């Protein structure tokens, strides 16, 4: 089969086993006599699919009963607005840790809703590291601190959380959910677009602590109020049914491999293998502070746009695709989400070594 090694940052490669299972069930899902795409979202059969995805996620991430799991639409980008619309009270503040383009976008939306301030930022050094933060910098009228757990474009990740006391931390885990073990109770809200580690685009997972639900002002449109979706268990309106079904299959696949802890070990192995190759290379280097390097998105560059472009062509001729860095940073970026096998990284490292021999 001619499947390419797909290093896309998102939507990204899905496990072949999951795609094949979906293919085999596409016209008759779970022996229901119809495709999941043809089912009423109010049917018993679909409810089973929804509950299956929720309960597998709850078990896998150890989500306590005091949190609700929602499957919404509008991407992670809509959460940039929903978070302040639901959590930011009039005359209070929200704090934002600015670690890349996505956190800047999140801040921009919060500023439209109310008062939002920068907690710390690494913009000055081009987001090559996670900024250091003073532990006690939050005033008591701060409703939440927003962070971006993994910075998809810049290739950094947050490994240490600030001590915010009773101020809830809201984290955007779009590009790292299920890649490593996290303690859900460290957060008030966790959200992630599905299209990297969870399934196809079109679904956004929101995990929210109960006491943060029901705080939106009366003027908040029903569709943007978490309380609406919690009350209806993600069935207020037609949810992204196919995406939710696919998330269930991806979770089953992760269970079959041994769960998050196994994936975390694999992700460390894959990322170290590539970082070592980059650090030892005479052509390529990583611009990112070692301590803050992402396991999921690995940017590297030769520092010469023509050489980068020649490498991208060389890699593509070997079936290694979607390695071009984000247009805002240039160079290369390899995204190694859960579905990327170790062999895919080996093929990339081989290609880098061959290219180096030709170039030096
Ligand atoms: N946050 C992060 C960290 C992302 O990587 C992305 C998408 N790449 C987004 C937010 C935006 O997600 P969406 O396209 O689902 O709105």
Give the rounded percent of residues in the chain with a pLDDT score beyond 90.
96
- From the CB of 220, is ligand 1 less than 6 Å away? no
* Domain presence at residue 9: no
Taking the centre of ligand 1 as the mean of its atom positions, its distance from the CA of residue 278, in whole angstroms, is 26
Closest C-alpha among 60, 72, 64, 110 to residue 230 = 72
- From the CB of 12, is ligand 1 less than 6 Å away? no
Distance separating alpha carbons of residues 108 and 295, to the nearest angstrom = 27
**Residue 360 predicted with pLDDT over 80:** no
75 with 203, same domain: the answer is yes
232 with 332, same domain: the answer is no
Looking from the CA of 127 toward its CB, the CA atoms found within 13 Å total 22
Distance from CA of residue 318 to its chain's centroid?
A: 28
Choosing from 256, 276, 301, the residue where a domain stops is 256
209 with 295, same domain: the answer is no
pLDDT of residue 135: 66
pLDDT of residue 133: 82
62 with 186, same domain: the answer is yes
* Domain presence at residue 194: yes
Q: Which helix (H) or strand (E) holds 208?
A: strand 204-209
Distance separating alpha carbons of residues 88 and 91, to the nearest angstrom = 9
Average pLDDT, the chain: 97
User: Which phi and psi (to 5°) does residue 203 adopt?
Assistant: -120, 140
The minimum-distance atom of ligand 1 relative to the CA of 152 is 5
Going by pLDDT thresholds of 50, 70 and 90, the confidence category of residue 1 is low
* Domain presence at residue 3: no
**Residue 351 predicted with pLDDT over 80:** yes
Q: Note the pLDDT tens digit of each residue in 153-198.
A: 999 999 999 999 999 999 999 999 999 999 999 999 999 999 999 9
Whether the complex's predicted ipTM surpasses the cut of 0.95: yes
| Number of continuous H segments (helices) and E segments (strands) in the chain | 9, 13
Distance separating alpha carbons of residues 330 and 200, to the nearest angstrom = 26
What tokens appear for 44 in the block? Answer: 């018993």
Whether residue 323 is preceded by a cis peptide bond, meaning omega within 30 degrees of 0, is no
Set 68, 115, 196, 324: catalytic member: 196
The minimum-distance atom of ligand 1 relative to the CA of 149 is 3
What tokens appear for 150 in the block? Answer: 């993994």
43 with 128, same domain: the answer is yes
240 with 284, same domain: the answer is no
* Domain presence at residue 139: yes
Residue 76 labelled as part of a binding site: yes
User: Which phi and psi (to 5°) does residue 140 adopt?
Assistant: -65, -20
Q: Note the pLDDT tens digit of each residue in 67-113.
A: 999 999 999 999 999 999 999 999 999 999 999 999 999 999 999 99
pLDDT of residue 359: 85
Considering the entire predicted model, what is its pTM? 0.98
**Section 257-265 average pLDDT:** 98
**Residue 134 predicted with pLDDT over 90:** no
How many residues does this entry show for the chain?
A: 360
pLDDT of residue 9: 98
239 with 121, same domain: the answer is yes
Choosing from 204, 222, 256, the residue where a domain stops is 256
pLDDT of residue 176: 98
- From the CB of 172, is ligand 1 less than 6 Å away? yes
The CATH number of residue 239's host domain is: 3.40.640.10
pLDDT of residue 196: 98
The CATH number of residue 291's host domain is: 3.90.1150.10
* Domain presence at residue 117: yes
Q: Note the pLDDT tens digit of each residue in 308-343.
A: 999 999 999 999 999 999 988 889 999 999 999 999
**Residue 234 predicted with pLDDT over 80:** yes
Taking the centre of ligand 1 as the mean of its atom positions, its distance from the CA of residue 52, in whole angstroms, is 25
Question: Cα torsion at 48, 50, 52, 53 (round to 10°)?
Answer: 160
61 with 158, same domain: the answer is yes
What tokens appear for 182 in the block? Answer: 């996290």
* Domain presence at residue 2: no
Q: Residue 335 contacts by C-beta under 8 Å, 6 or more apart in sequence?
A: 7, 8, 9, 10, 12, 152, 175, 196, 296, 297, 298, 322
Distance separating alpha carbons of residues 272 and 214, to the nearest angstrom = 43
Residue 42 labelled as part of a binding site: yes
288 with 338, same domain: the answer is yes
**Residue 248 predicted with pLDDT over 90:** yes
**In which residue are the tokens 């280097």 written?**
285
* Domain presence at residue 4: no
* Domain presence at residue 86: yes
Q: 56 and 245 in contact (C-beta within 8 Å)?
A: no
- From the CB of 102, is ligand 1 less than 6 Å away? yes
- From the CB of 10, is ligand 1 less than 6 Å away? yes
- From the CB of 301, is ligand 1 less than 6 Å away? no
The minimum-distance atom of ligand 1 relative to the CA of 102 is 1
**In which residue are the tokens 């093929």 written?**
347
Strands 169-172 and 189-193: parallel
233 with 302, same domain: the answer is no
249 with 266, same domain: the answer is no
Range of the domain at 102: 16-256
220 with 290, same domain: the answer is no
> What are residue 29's DSSP bridge partners?
none
Q: Note the pLDDT tens digit of each residue in 136-153.
A: 679 999 999 999 999 999
- Of 8, 9, 10, the one to substitute when testing ligand 1's pocket (max ligand atoms within 8 A of C-beta) is 10
Choosing from 193, 227, 256, the residue where a domain stops is 256
How many structural domains compose the chain? 2
């Amino acid at each position: 089969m001619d499947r390419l090694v797909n290093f896309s940052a998102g939507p990204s490669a899905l496990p072949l086993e999951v795609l094949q299972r979906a293919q085999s069930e596409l016209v008759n899902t779970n022996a229901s006599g119809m495709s999941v795409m043809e089912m009423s979202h109010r049917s018993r059969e679909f409810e089973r699919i929804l509950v299956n995805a929720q309960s597998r996620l709850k078990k896998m991430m150890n989500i306590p009963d005091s949190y609700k799991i929602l499957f919404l639409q509008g991407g992670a980008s809509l959460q940039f607005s929903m978070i302040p619309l639901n959590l930011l009270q009039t005359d209070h503040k929200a704090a934002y840790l600015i670690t890349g383009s996505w956190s800047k976008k999140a801040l921009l939306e919060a500023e439209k809703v109310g008062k939002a301030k920068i907690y710390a930022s690494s913009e000055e050094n081009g987001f090559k590291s996670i900024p250091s933060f003073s532990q006690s910098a939050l005033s008591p009228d701060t409703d939440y601190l927003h962070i971006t757990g993994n910075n998809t474009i810049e290739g950094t990740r947050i490994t240490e959380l600030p001590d915010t006391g009773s101020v809830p931390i809201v984290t955007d885990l779009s590009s790292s959910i299920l890649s490593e073990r996290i303690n859900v109770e460290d957060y008030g809200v966790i959200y992630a677009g599905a299209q990297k580690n969870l399934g196809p685009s079109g679904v956004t997972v929101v995990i929210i602590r109960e006491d943060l639900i029901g705080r939106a002002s009366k003027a908040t449109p029903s569709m943007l109020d978490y309380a609406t979706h919690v009350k209806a268990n993600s069935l207020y309106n037609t949810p992204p049914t196919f995406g939710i079904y696919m998330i269930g299959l991806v979770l089953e696949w992760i269970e079959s491999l041994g769960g998050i802890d196994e994936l975390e070990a694999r992700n460390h192995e894959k990322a170290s293998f590539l970082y070592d190759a980059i650090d030892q290379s005479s052509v390529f280097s990583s611009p990112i502070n070692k301590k803050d390097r992402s396991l999921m998105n690995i940017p590297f560059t030769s520092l010469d746009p023509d050489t980068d472009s020649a490498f991208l062509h060389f890699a593509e001729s070997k079936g290694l695709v979607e390695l071009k860095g984000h247009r805002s940073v240039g160079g290369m970026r390899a995204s190694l989400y859960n579905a990327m096998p170790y062999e895919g990284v080996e093929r990339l490292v081989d290609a880098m070594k061959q290219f180096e021999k030709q170039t030096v």
